[in-house]
Amino acid sequence: MGRQARALASCALLALGFAIFGAIAQDPISEAERLLFLTDHLGNVVPPATLSYEYKKTGSAEAGFTDSVQIRVRAAGDGAKVVAVTFFTRERQIALPEVAKPEGNPLLLYFLEHDIREMERRTGGKARYFQKAIRLALARSANIAKVSVSFEGRAVAAQEITITPYVDDPLKDRIGKYATKIYVFTLSTDVPGGIYGIRTVVPSPEVAAKAAPLVEERLRFVRLVR
């Protein structure tokens, strides 16, 4: 296992702290936090089952790639669910621990952990700063919109949660061009596992309207396999 894999494996458990950040902060749990971290997204998944997601990274700042994420759900002896995650494949694969009795879909937590590690790498910032900024944005300034998405050839209802954690932060100058980063989480109860997609984008600083983003990452639900 490489250095990045070991680091993420150990930090993955810390990611579970996102689920209780709202409870230990001065702010009450927000609707965005409830939807993301305190909802039984796997309630519509009967084990054994595997949820497959496509990941795609593009942008002008660095090389992009396409990969996959697998969420394997099995039943434990007591009837509870146990989830194993395979985040990326081959040399990019990140070793992650199983999650017993998950509160929601661990995909979200592990994506955020991946995102924070990438922000550390790109900016030299610290994980705690990014974690706090994301938590505060979800607690205080998240925008929630009702949308319609295409799933299995039909339109289904969804909710889209959008945050810009760093744009108004007093320390945003320390992360430079990445301070404008946007996070979009799309949830739907009609989609197995509850998460239709996750998208992050750092817009180009160029004035041109059609300038490619510096970095864009998309994670999208593909299929459920029994």
Q: Which residues are within 8 A (CB) of 152 and not within 5 positions of it... i.e. 6 or more apart?
A: none
Residue 15 pLDDT greater than 90, yes or no: no
**97 vs 83: CA distance, rounded Å:** 9
CA angle 29, 34, 36 (to 5 degrees): 130
Q: Which two tokens stand for residue 191?
A: 């989609």
**179 vs 174: CA distance, rounded Å:** 8
Give me the sheet containing 65-75, strands edge to edge. 99-100, 81-87, 65-75, 49-58, 215-225, 195-202, 182-187, 154-163, 143-151
Tell me: the pLDDT tens digits for 115-163? 999 999 999 999 999 999 999 999 999 999 999 999 999 999 999 999 9
Residue 166 — very low, low, confident or very high, per pLDDT cuts 50/70/90?
very high
Residue 11 pLDDT greater than 60, yes or no: no
pTM value?
0.89
Crossing angle between the packed helical segments 106-123 and 3-15, to the nearest 10 degrees: 130
Q: Which two tokens stand for residue 82?
A: 């146990």
Reduced to 3 states, what is the DSSP secondary structure of residue 52? Answer: strand
Predicted confidence at residue 4, as pLDDT, reads: 45
Tell me: the pLDDT tens digits for 64-116? 999 999 999 999 888 899 999 999 999 999 878 888 988 889 999 899 989 99
Tell me: the pLDDT tens digits for 167-210? 999 989 999 999 999 999 999 999 999 999 999 999 998 765 67
Query: What single letter denotes the amino acid at residue 18?
Result: F
Predicted confidence at residue 211, as pLDDT, reads: 79
- Tokens 């990014």 locate to 130
Higher-pLDDT residue of 36, 17: 36
Tell me: the pLDDT tens digits for 31-58? 999 999 999 999 999 999 999 999 999 9
**Contacts within 8 Å (CB) and 24+ apart, 161-167:** 161/32, 161/35, 161/36, 161/185, 161/186, 161/187, 163/32, 163/134, 163/137, 163/138, 164/137, 165/130, 165/133, 165/134, 165/136, 165/137, 166/133
* DSSP summary character for residue 29: P
Predicted confidence at residue 1, as pLDDT, reads: 41
**102 vs 132: CA distance, rounded Å:** 22
